[in-house]
Chains A and B, each alone.
Chain A
Amino acid sequence: MNDLTENFLVGTPYSFQDGILKVCTALNTHGVNYLIIGGTAFAIYGRHRMSIEASGKIATKHDFDFWYAPTYENYYKLLKALASLGIDTSEWLEEQIPNPRKSFFRQEFDSFKVDFLPEVIGLNNFDNSFANRKTLLIADTAMHFISKSDLIKSKEANNRAKDIDDLNELKNSSSDEN
């Protein structure tokens, strides 16, 4: 088991920043095509808000959502990247007939969780959204974010109470980029 999981498990977690940068570094090293979506993406175009659970309650743990391209090649790259962090993915790596389009993964750490989604409501084509991505360099690690326009499309399609609030903020935000 490598240090990321080990440290989380023994209760001496990395900071959010260190933890997520380690996840992104593993994804980048393994050539995974991914986009950061959800509340983390909203934070860069709008403002930071705490994660909200499906029930509407504020989550005790922040969740970082990643959209991954649901191709077989990318699916295995994702599993290998996560394995490199010490996460046990052997069950799915050995699976004979996987279905990436129906594979939503969650890894929980002490202080946050990471979700990997093969689809995003309102967005039909990963490649198109990936081409529009916003890449930020944090401590020499590239982090690929969904574009503001695609984030707006997904929130319009979701249309939950929190999405409507987020949409108003995104549409009124000063950032005029896509």
Chain B
Amino acid sequence: MKRFSSFNELKTSESKSLDPKANTIALEQELKQFMEVLKQAKKSAELKTYAKSE
């Protein structure tokens, strides 16, 4: 882990690149799926809140 003293220092720092052997398409797909899981969880939480208020 690295520590930086400012937001700019952190965000402009060099990151390790993705392993060139990594399947970037599969990773992107997996990330999209995870974001969809989060979005669905949010919708589900909103529906429960709505049902309680009815």
Contacts and interface: CB of A to CB of B under 8 A. Distances in A.
A126 to B, nearest CB: 15
B39 to A, nearest CB: 5
Main secondary structure of the interface of A (DSSP, over half): mixed
A61 B13 CA distance: 13
Contacts of B47: none
A50 B28 CA distance: 8
Interface residues of B, number: 36
A108 B4 contact: no
Contacts of B31: 16, 48, 50, 62
Interface in B6-35: 6-13, 15-19, 22, 24, 27-28, 30-35
Nearest to B4: A104
B18 to A, nearest CB: 4
B3 to A, nearest CB: 5
Nearest to B45: A136
A113 B30 CA distance: 15
B39 A105 contact: no
A48 B29 CA distance: 11
A136 B1 contact: no
Interface residues on A, range: 35 or more
A150 to B, nearest CB: 15
B5 to A, nearest CB: 5
Given A106-B1, A106-B13, A138-B37, 19 more contacts: A15-B30, A16-B31, A16-B34, A17-B33, A17-B37, A40-B35, A44-B38, A48-B31, A60-B17, A60-B24, A61-B18, A82-B1, A104-B7, A104-B9, A104-B10, A106-B2, A106-B10, A117-B10, A135-B45
26 contacts: A15-B30, A15-B34, A17-B34, A44-B39, A48-B31, A50-B28, A54-B8, A60-B18, A60-B24, A88-B1, A89-B1, A103-B3, A104-B6, A105-B1, A106-B4, A106-B10, A106-B13, A107-B1, A110-B22, A115-B10, A119-B7, A121-B7, A135-B45, A138-B37, A138-B38, A177-B46
